[in-house]
Amino acid sequence: MKLITYDGSDRYVFIEQMDPLRMKTLLTTQDEVYWGLVFRFSGKTYVVGQISPTDGIAVCREITIGEGEDKDYESKIICPYCGYADQASLEAGDSEENRECGVCGGVFSFYREVTVEYSTSPVAKPTIVDIKEE
């Protein structure tokens, strides 16, 4: 399997639509390659995002894996290892003890904190009555 990177701002383009001039071969391997595989090569860390078994190509992108740090009060669930922001965060439950990152495979926990706020808009002023003194 040939592992490649793709130099493009359109990261989510399908392999069949990629411009061959923007593909760069990292390496060719006989090892098992699968979607989500996190591997190290030449001192850098990569994750496999697409595979074309018929073409024998796996598209990888460089990622940074940290030691893991708390992410507090974010609008999305964020992996504390690679920083991936889960776009489907609203579909998650209120909390999970063990959630696997969809990019790097790291395991973390999360809980949802809900804040309620209210907004008001004027509809009708109160009626004011003049009262005369006797």
3 falls in which pLDDT band (50, 70, 90)? very high
Give me the sign of the Cα torsion angle 90, 105, 48, 39.
positive
**Are residues 91 and 113 both part of a single domain?**
yes
* Per-residue model confidence as pLDDT tens digits over 9-52: 555 667 777 777 778 899 999 999 998 899 999 999 999 988 98
Q: Tell me the C-alpha distance between 84 and 98, whole Å.
A: 16
DSSP 8-state secondary structure symbol assigned to residue 90: G
pTM of the model: 0.67
Q: Of 23, 41, 63, at which residue does a domain stop?
A: 63
Q: Of 15, 47, 63, at which residue does a domain stop?
A: 63
Q: Tell me the C-alpha distance between 11 and 4, whole Å.
A: 13
- Report yes or no on 45 lying in a domain: yes
- Report yes or no on 47 lying in a domain: yes
**Are residues 93 and 46 both part of a single domain?**
no
* Per-residue model confidence as pLDDT tens digits over 101-124: 988 889 999 988 888 888 888 888
* Per-residue model confidence as pLDDT tens digits over 69-98: 888 888 899 999 998 888 888 888 888 888
DSSP, collapsed to helix, strand or coil, labels residue 16 as helix
**Are residues 45 and 83 both part of a single domain?**
no
Q: Of 13, 41, 63, at which residue does a domain stop?
A: 63
Token couple for 32: 């098992």
- Report yes or no on 58 lying in a domain: yes
Predicted confidence at residue 10, as pLDDT, reads 53
**Are residues 103 and 71 both part of a single domain?**
yes
Q: What is the CA radius of gyration of the chain?
A: 25
Q: How far is CA 94 from the centre of its chain?
A: 18
Residue ranges of alpha helices (H) inside 5-126 are none
Q: In which residue are the tokens 């009555």 written?
A: 129
Predicted confidence at residue 43, as pLDDT, reads 92
**Are residues 46 and 87 both part of a single domain?**
no
Token couple for 44: 């850098």
Enclosing domain of residue 71: 67-129
What kind and span of H or E run contains 111? strand 107-111
- Report yes or no on 134 lying in a domain: no
- Give me the number of domains the chain comprises: 2
